[in-house]
């Protein structure tokens, strides 16, 4: 009979495949955005009033971002957190062996959701600019996804920053040791 720990272990075993799937999906989005930018440029040359330069530039930037996703994430990590790699961690002294496995699974899941939110934020930003005029509500939603995704991708550094902000470093050290 499956237990919660065996289900968590099986769930965690699928994370590398899901991350590779998201990366491959981003490469496909990048190719689509590149072809779409070229088609938009062709429509603009025919004096189509519905196509703006901004829409073409956003689509071309989306193409570059998605085709170079690992580099883009590394640059974003360095900008936000001061280091290119995602922060490592080890479980704190108050965590049992089963707790360590659960903690590893939860952190990996949050990072996977963060990657998806980051990708979806760029897609929403493209949609906000795609219809010839900027849609502020969709743009705000895109920025929220981008920022939230970046924080979730590096959840360990985010937790460390929040703990330092609110004076909870000792409490965090019982659960999670950053850089361990």
Q: What is the pLDDT of residues 97-116, one digit of tens each?
A: 888 888 888 888 898 899 89
At residue 84, the 3 state secondary structure works out as: coil
In which band, very low, low, confident or very high, does the pLDDT at 180 lie, cut at 50, 70 and 90?
low
| 3-class SS of residue 154 | coil
Q: In terms of residue numbers, what domain contains 29?
A: 4-178
| Residue of 136, 139, 135 lying closest to 125 (CA atoms) | 139
Q: Which of 57, 116, 92, 106 is nearest to 170 (CA)?
A: 92
Task: Give per-residue pLDDT as tens, 26-35.
Answer: 899 999 999 9
Q: What is the pTM of this model?
A: 0.81
Number of structural domains in the chain: 1
- What is the per-residue pLDDT for 132? 65
Using one digit for the tens of pLDDT, what is the confidence trace for 57-99?
A: 888 999 998 898 888 888 877 877 777 777 667 777 777 888 8
Say which DSSP state 146 is in: H
Largest CA distance in the chain: 66
């Amino acid at each position: 009979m499956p237990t919660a720990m065996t289900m968590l272990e099986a769930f965690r075993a699928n994370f590398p495949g899901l991350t590779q799937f998201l990366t491959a999906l981003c490469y496909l989005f990048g190719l689509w955005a590149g072809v779409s930018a070229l088609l938009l440029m062709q429509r603009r040359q025919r004096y189509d009033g519905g196509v703006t330069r901004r829409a073409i530039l956003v689509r071309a930037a989306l193409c570059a971002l998605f085709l170079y996703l690992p580099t883009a994430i590394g640059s974003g990590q360095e900008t936000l957190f001061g280091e290119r790699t995602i922060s490592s961690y080890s479980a704190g002294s108050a965590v049992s062996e089963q707790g360590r496995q659960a903690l590893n699974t939860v952190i990996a899941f949050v990072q996977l959701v963060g990657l998806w939110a980051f990708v979806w934020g760029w897609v929403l930003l493209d949609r906000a600019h795609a219809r010839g005029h900027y849609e502020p509500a969709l743009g705000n939603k895109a920025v929220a996804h981008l920022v939230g995704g970046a924080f979730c991708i590096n959840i360990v550094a985010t937790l460390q920053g929040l703990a330092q902000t609110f004076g909870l470093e000792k409490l965090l050290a019982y659960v999670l040791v950053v850089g361990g």
